[in-house]
Amino acid sequence: MSTASGRRRGRPSRAESENGSPGARERILESARAEFARRGYDLASVRAIARGADVTPALVHHYFGTKEQVFAAAVRAAVEVAARAFAAAEPTGPDGFGESFTRLFFGVWENPTTRGPLLALFRSAANNDTAAAIFRGAITDHLLSRVAGALSEPDAELRAELAAMQLVGVVLGRYVLGLEPLASTDAEVLIRRLAPVVQHHFTGPATAF
Amino acid sequence: MSTASGRRRGRPSRAESENGSPGARERILESARAEFARRGYDLASVRAIARGADVTPALVHHYFGTKEQVFAAAVRAAVEVAARAFAAAEPTGPDGFGESFTRLFFGVWENPTTRGPLLALFRSAANNDTAAAIFRGAITDHLLSRVAGALSEPDAELRAELAAMQLVGVVLGRYVLGLEPLASTDAEVLIRRLAPVVQHHFTGPATAF
DNA sequence: GTTTTTATTAATCATGCGTTTAATTATTCT
DNA sequence: AGAATAATTAAACGCATGATTAATAAAAAC
């Protein structure tokens, strides 16, 4: 691999990039996704992103502007994919919510191309207010709104949040903390375990004692 | 050794000021707890901690050594309090685990003096491997070990982790993300909602509620 | 009153950060 | 061929970081 600092100045000749390898812009995006996913927004550095893309920091700014805009560009695609998945899900009756939501949730988190950006958003949300707001908005818009509309109980929002936080907590343990055996358990097993719990949050009795 | 008093020569360490106000060492610890809780390990700065304690950064290093040691000192107390709470809990039969654990959990998280350091650990664990290891260790040592011993099922660890992640997820939504209405709901209400779910994870059937 | 020990600060070092500006080279349009 | 434009880097700016060193002040013990 050629180091960015060793490369000749100026625009590269077409011969240098005529192979199938992706252009600098794509490489930057890919590196940004990886870096944000590994370290979260604040700890990821434009310089490290540039290094990972074999490029100069100035080029990152040339293509994307500020660090915040790099983050937005890196995360946007995955958030939209997840949002579309939730929006396009065939509507189920209240009895089907549990499994339906659990499956959708693991669908996007087990997908390697969406997991990275979602991890980036997750890690960032723990320390960065802007990222936290995006995360909160994603949950509110794509999860709570659909459920609250279909559920009649007055505590529908709380129910949906408790269900969502069960799933989010599992994501934390599985992908961020690397808790065993949780991290190595087959996703299908987790879905079968969690779907009834999520369903209970949605429609079960509020207390059992 | 000829000293009758047994006191060491020289200026005493950790001198408290004459009035009731806390000495520099205590102020540093307090500021560190606040700063780590607000920003997480990596984003909190020794300089900001010093500023909050009305002290020079060099003094922070003088008392605690490296930043990592400051973090350990700031978090240790709360982790020990939480650990003691879990260790001292009167043992309940398997049927009482759900409510018992949920109560213990919210007990330490609703306590203002332990919440700060726990938040610090939580935020830090999202981006820092060392903090993640501490967090993982705390869950494994004080939660899983007790449950796994008392439960006979071969999947006891997985069950305990799913239960723990339900509670941790709620903590995320309530204290970190500030999800409404979750953040404003009375803790007792949450306990009553969550205890049966936790109980189910521990002893319920694997695929139905 | 000298010695010993602690408390505290000022100054500094090396490093990394986000960002900007100017320069250089290659491609494309006329 | 010449002009315009796009891709890319080098160099720098100002600031924040974690940590160290050397110095000064104060208190206690002798």
**A177 at interface of B, judged by CB pairs closer than 8 A:** yes
Q: How far apart are CA B34 and CA B202, in angstroms?
A: 35
98-127 in chain B: CB under 8 A from chain A: 99, 122-123, 125-127
- For residue A79, pLDDT over 70 is answered with yes
- Token pair for residue A96? 């089907």
Task: Please check whether residue A40 touches B, CB under 8 A.
Answer: yes
Asked if B30 is an interface residue toward chain A (Cβ–Cβ < 8 A), one would say: no
A40–B193: do the CB atoms touch at under 8 Å? no
- In whole angstroms, how far apart are CA B105 and each of B83, B177, B203? 11, 18, 18
Domain chopping of chain B, boundaries:
76-203
CATH class of A4-64: mainly alpha
| CATH class held by domain A75-203 | mainly alpha
Tens-digit pLDDT profile for residues A17-52: 667 677 899 999 999 999 999 999 999 999 999 999
Q: Is the model more confident about B171 or about B97?
A: B171
* Residue A77 binned pLDDT confidence (cut-offs 50, 70, 90): confident
- A73 in B contact zone (CB under 8 Å): no
pLDDT score of A148? 65
Judge whether A187 and A177 are in contact, CB under 8 Å.
no
Predicted confidence (pLDDT) per residue in B94-106, tens digit: 678 889 889 999 9
Stated as kind and residue range, the H or E segment containing B165 is helix B156-171
**pLDDT attached to residue A5:** 62
Looking at residue B12, its pLDDT comes to 66
Comparing A53-57, A79-83, B66-70, B187-191, which segment has the lowest mean pLDDT?
A79-83
Encoding tokens for residue B195? 């205890």
Across the interface, whether the CB atoms of A192 and B176 are under 8 A apart is answered no
Report the pLDDT value the prediction gives residue B148, as an integer from 0 to 100.
65
Chosen from A43, A161, A171, A209 to mutate, greatest number of chain B CBs within 10 A = A161
Q: Is the pLDDT of residue B59 over 90?
A: yes
CATH number of B76-203: 1.10.357.10
The sign of the CA dihedral B44, A75, A108, A204 is positive
> What is the distance between the alpha carbons of residues B171 and B126, in angstroms, rounded to a whole number?
13
| B193 vs A177, A194, A207: nearest CB | A207
CB contact under 8 A, A125 and B194: no
The mean pLDDT value for A123-140 works out to: 88
- Helix (H, G, I), strand (E, B), or coil: what is residue B5? coil
Q: Which B residues 124-153 touch A at CB under 8 Å? A: 125-127, 132, 135-136, 139-140
Q: Give the per-residue pLDDT at B15.
A: 53
Give the pLDDT score at A12.
Answer: 73
Q: What are phi and psi of A180, to 5 degrees?
A: -100, 145
Higher per-residue confidence, B19 vs B49: B49
